[in-house]
Structure 1
Amino acid sequence: MKYLNILLIFFIVIIGCVVSLKSPIKSKIDVPRLNNQQVRYPSDETWSEVDTFLEEAIENGTFPGCVALVGNQKGVLYASAKGSFTYGIGTPINDFKVPPMELSTLFDMASCSKVTACTTSVAQFYQRGELNLDSPITDFLGLEFGVNGKSGISVRNCLLHNSGFYPDPNPFWNTAEFNCPATEEYYPPMEFTCQSQIYQSILNQSLMNPIGSTYVYSDLNFMTLMYVVGNLAKQFNYITADQLTPGCDNGAPENAQCYYEAYVRHYVFNALNLNVTNYLPPQYLAPQCAPTENDTVYMHTTIQGVVSDGNAYALGGISGHAGVFSNVEEMWIFMYSLMFAEANSQYLNSTTVQYFTTEYNHTQSSRALGWNTNDPSVFDEGWGLACGTLSAKTWMHLGYTGTMLCGDPERELIVILLTNRVYPDPSNIKIENVRKPFSTLVQQVYDSIIN
């Protein structure tokens, strides 16, 4: 009887723990899906000019290949995969073959990770009333973060890039000067051995501007927000230790990075039933990843299937500013879920989406909260009007590797362009002459259809 009572108590405790955990809320939006068997929509010549434009961009060396998609509430209007992974040189992961781009090709989303993963997480905590955007970062990272004048930085400052941070950590975390353990190896492994050192680097950063005074786009903002989200995921019991990526948790408080990734995995991507969008793509998906740069300085290889951003790589592949991999099929689902969010959605409702995607301070920058906007009347013009002549209210983001997401709320139009323009050399910036005219051409074709 004694043992039965012990077992009963054990099961009650286990059940209590399970009940106390919070299950991800699945999005209930019915997203019109892409037909994977088709390469271009529709079969007529409506979008032929867009086809030609992208083909010419490949021919002039802007990027070896790309995948593009245009859609509205009714569904996908245009989707096309053009070019190939490389300029004719095979990669080791692909058995030295050169695969063609496909709609399922995975891309290193680079800074689009800031909005797909980190901003979405912050918005969810905000929507549930678990996060005040004006809370100081010290509430989450402790008073140690407040050194060097940083005590007044809020979550909102980080979302708006007016925290006062420099653009990047100095030195970069993947450099010999910073001296992460892995940098000593010729082929540095992507691991979490520098986790504590990097966390201390975040705490000890200094500022280049007074807090709130000036817009300076900085990866440090979203590196910091990663730890905020991770700590919130722990505080509100959204994630337990058994859900963390193996090998990530090397101890508190820097293990907030691990809780961040697990939260994103379960509550941001899995909640939309995304199958391949995530940090740390499994090895079997590496051949489906478009290669990025041919790194002759740090990784000493053609980067494929792992994050190309050096700071994110030193972090183990997980960061608030970079590291997410996805394809056009699943970015369409993500963008659609935001564009057509319902008023009562527990994933992100329409009010929250509008708040985070609306330009916040017109006198300072085109930035919304996390997202940027396509506003031509602000000095930075939303990264030089990368979304072309789509409306000024278009919420958007770019990625260093050659990715772009545009959502025009006036037209209710979604435009996605994914490229690996950094292959083989990231100094190739021809894409700066492609994004704007591509988006403008899409707008013109779409308006001609609607009108």
Structure 2
Amino acid sequence: MNIKHILSFFLAVFSFYILHAQDENDSDSSATLVKNINNTIPIKSLDVNNIGFINLDADKSEFNTDDFLLKLNQYTRISRVENSLNESIIGEVQERDIIIAAISSKNIHWNTLYKLSSLLSKTKLILVSFLPLKEISFNNYVFNATTIIQFQSYNTINSESAAEIIFGAKTTNAVLEEDVNNNFKSGSGILLNKTIRMGYTSPSQEGLDEDFINRKVDSIMKEGIEQHAFPGAQLLVAKNNNIIYHKSFGYHTYDNIQKVSNYDLYDLASVTKVTGPLPVIMQLVDKGIIDIDEKFSTYWKPWRNVKNKKDLTFREILAHQAGLEPYYIFLNEIIKNRKFVSRFVSNTESNKYSVKIYKDLYLNKRFVKKMYRIINRTEVSEIKKYKYSGLSFLIYPEMIKQLTGINYEKYVRDSIYRPLGATNLIFNPIGKYPESLIVPTELDTIYRNAYVKGWVHDENASLLGGVSGNAGLFGTANDLAKLIKMYQNLGEYGGKRYISEKTMKEFTRVQYPENNNKRGLGFDKPLLNNATLDISHASPAPEVSAQSFGHGGFTGTYVWADPVNNLMFIFLSNRVYPTRNNRNLYNLNIRPSLQQVFYQANLN
């Protein structure tokens, strides 16, 4: 899908909310799954299936194509098939693995349906009929589809249900009330009684006080914006297996021009640590490639002869127990007297200056090795206690490449993001995502001299070309939720296991409580006495379970999963706009206060 198609797709967002509000009270959401050859749905393999969508209505109907496509895209990237109603249909769809076709009118493009159902033997056809099949049963092309779902009528609630059924976020148990010619008999219907992905519902459907939630969240967000904790933010919360709350507040900037939308892309900052290299490391543990109790230098050869680092274990480093320095400002190596050092930075790309760090700024590719050498020389505390450090996360991309033979960005994309359907978790989003939906971060007065937007905020990650383990990942709340839900499910999501339950439990438990270190392996954990603290001192909310885990990001991002209470919390903001000196996000305890609302809202 090119950038033009992506942008036109997102323009449908606003009409979706209007239509959803209109149809919420007149929904007939009963769906009957009448055919499902080889268990085509729920669709499980999102990484190997190229999925397209076609509207088969021949006349203008109430069916909102953009609305349905929007709902489908909540699960994975699906594009509208162009030229779907002309003679080039075969060439347009023959490379697709699955076509989702929708009908809401008796006046159908029968020729197109014939080609889809009869001439494309390798393409699976999922037909969604938003009218009783009996009304169109005079033509058997309908029944050649691989999968058929029937609704009695079209509205946005049924549209959402159809998407949820196709991707395994909703069960079906309805049967036909009358015969459909000789094809399907009254009383027939296929049951889907297990969900494999999150659906979308309201807080009240999960036993939470919706009025209380809306009142409290609105108040906290309003204060945050008024106190300049952030110009805008969004909040996504999932309870059990449903996203129950996803709402945006404020604007991208304080000039109140661009409103925050639920489809905005944020610089995740240090949330990258647990969403970029960490899932790959856990997979490598499962494969026996990494042993967390082995010396880190076993996997990172430059440390084998470094006296203060050669004996550090992988476990100590991931738990921030190794005594490594927190940070190193590598910009000081390439900027002297407020000017770039010419042997390191050029305004022209070349084989030598091949690492793009900003618009028309290219870094000498040899500087990356210099960064590793500097890390080699950094101090290590002799006292082993909790000391947060991001230095090792600068190393992981290269380590992963050396251990697997696969580029880090490609590895995490192909083994984690694409199978999850989280295609909007991306590095270097310029040209990959509508720029108007990318939230800006800070006015950089150090070396970019501009408001940073679409380029990683973290300077060290920028010197690695924007692809790092400490920062660099951008994401939407909806796609981030899929990854965090996989963690909350102890390594499984969408019918696929990504990480073993044993490894997830090991990485998410407190490693060194005897040293007053609250950390897991890579993951942050609640304060050791968190449940006894009030909201002004707790981190996160005092109500979270001791088994919960997550991570925060410098730009104002935060993710938290609570497998005991089955509650997931995602907060995204650009609190560093226009300057990182803004500290009111922390001073006002906004994130734990928001999180607490959903624990206190339990009606049970």
Short-chain TM bin? 0.7 to 0.9
Shift of 1:159: 0.8
Q: 1:445 to 1:371 in 2, by over 3 A?
A: closer
Q: Quick check: which one's strand share is greater?
A: 2
User: Match for residue 310 of structure 2?
Assistant: 151
Paired residues of 1:106 and 1:326 also in contact (CA < 8 A)? yes
Shift of 1:375: 2.1
Shift of 1:387: 1.8
Read off the aligned partner of 1:71 and give its amino acid letter.
A
SS at match of 1:416: strand
Shift of 1:324: 0.3
Q: Which of residues 225, 233, 251 in structure 1 aligns to 2:396?
A: 225
In structure 1, list runs of 5 or more residues that go unmatched: 1-22, 36-40, 90-97, 240-258
Q: Which of residues 31, 47, 57 in structure 1 aligns to 2:197?
A: 31
More off after superposition, 79-88 vs 43-52: 43-52
Give distance in 2, aligned partners of 1:328 and 1:273.
Answer: 13
User: Match for residue 208 of structure 1?
Assistant: 379
Q: TM-score, normalised by structure 2?
A: 0.59
User: Match for residue 301 of structure 2?
Assistant: 142
Q: 1:274 to 1:150 in 2, by over 3 A?
A: same
Give distance in 2, aligned partners of 1:195 and 1:124.
Answer: 29
Shift of 1:418: 0.4
Shift of 1:393: 2.9
User: Match for residue 278 of structure 1?
Assistant: 426
SS at match of 1:398: strand
Paired residues of 1:81 and 1:102 also in contact (CA < 8 A)? yes
Give distance in 1, aligned partners of 2:501 and 2:250.
Answer: 37
Q: 1:135 to 1:200 in 2, by over 3 A?
A: farther
Read off the aligned partner of 1:348 and give its amino acid letter.
I
Q: Indicate whether 1:78 and 2:245 are aligned.
A: yes
Q: Which of residues 110, 124, 127 in structure 1 aligns to 2:283?
A: 124
Paired residues of 1:136 and 1:151 also in contact (CA < 8 A)? yes
Paired residues of 1:291 and 1:302 also in contact (CA < 8 A)? yes
Give distance in 2, aligned partners of 1:269 and 1:329.
Answer: 12
User: Match for residue 355 of structure 1?
Assistant: 506
Shift of 1:261: 1.5
Give distance in 2, aligned partners of 1:107 and 1:190.
Answer: 23
User: Match for residue 251 of structure 1?
Assistant: none
Shift of 1:140: 2.8
Give distance in 2, aligned partners of 1:126 and 1:384.
Answer: 35
Q: 1:200 to 1:155 in 2, by over 3 A?
A: farther
Read off the aligned partner of 2:222 and give its amino acid letter.
E
User: Match for residue 425 of structure 1?
Assistant: 579
Q: 1:148 to 1:229 in 2, by over 3 A?
A: same
User: Match for residue 106 of structure 1?
Assistant: 265
Shift of 1:51: 1.7
Paired residues of 1:317 and 1:323 also in contact (CA < 8 A)? yes
Q: 1:99 to 1:441 in 2, by over 3 A?
A: closer
Within 5 Å, give how 1:183-332 maps onto structure 2. Answer: 183=345, 188-189=358-359, 193-204=363-374, 205-210=376-381, 213-234=384-405, 239=406, 259-285=407-433, 286-332=435-481
SS at match of 2:415: helix
SS at match of 2:388: coil
Within 5 Å, give how 1:61-100 maps onto structure 2. Answer: 61-88=228-255, 98-100=257-259
Give distance in 2, aligned partners of 1:326 and 1:188.
Answer: 19
Give distance in 2, aligned partners of 1:111 and 1:398.
Answer: 6
Give distance in 1, aligned partners of 2:332 and 2:464.
Answer: 8
Q: Quick check: which one's helix share is greater?
A: 1
User: Match for residue 601 of structure 2?
Assistant: 448
Read off the aligned partner of 1:337 and give its amino acid letter.
M
Q: 1:32 to 1:262 in 2, by over 3 A?
A: same
Q: Which of residues 212, 220, 232 in structure 2 aligns to 1:46?
A: 212
SS at match of 1:373: coil
Q: 1:230 to 1:312 in 2, by over 3 A?
A: same
Q: 1:349 to 1:448 in 2, by over 3 A?
A: same
SS at match of 1:406: strand
Q: 1:210 to 1:61 in 2, by over 3 A?
A: closer
Q: Indicate whether 1:415 and 2:581 are aligned.
A: no
Paired residues of 1:111 and 1:398 also in contact (CA < 8 A)? yes
Shift of 1:75: 0.5
Shift of 1:179: 4.2
Read off the aligned partner of 1:396 and give its amino acid letter.
G
SS at match of 2:572: strand
**Which has the larger Rg?**
2
Paired residues of 1:173 and 1:180 also in contact (CA < 8 A)? no
Paired residues of 2:513 and 2:528 also in contact (CA < 8 A)? no
Paired residues of 2:200 and 2:244 also in contact (CA < 8 A)? no
Read off the aligned partner of 1:359 and give its amino acid letter.
V
- What is the Cα-based RMSD across aligned positions, in Å? 3.3
1:130-167 CA-partner distances (Å, limit 9, x unpaired): 21112333333324653252211232222112233211
User: Match for residue 256 of structure 1?
Assistant: none
Give distance in 2, aligned partners of 1:25 and 1:363.
Answer: 46
* Alignment length (residue pairs): 390
Give distance in 1, aligned partners of 2:294 and 2:416.
Answer: 22
Paired residues of 1:64 and 1:84 also in contact (CA < 8 A)? yes
Shift of 1:214: 2.6
Paired residues of 1:148 and 1:206 also in contact (CA < 8 A)? no
Give distance in 2, aligned partners of 1:293 and 1:263.
Answer: 30
User: Match for residue 401 of structure 1?
Assistant: 555
Paired residues of 1:159 and 1:222 also in contact (CA < 8 A)? no
Paired residues of 1:42 and 1:78 also in contact (CA < 8 A)? no
The percentage of aligned residue pairs carrying the same residue is: 24
Give distance in 2, aligned partners of 1:442 and 1:59.
Answer: 20
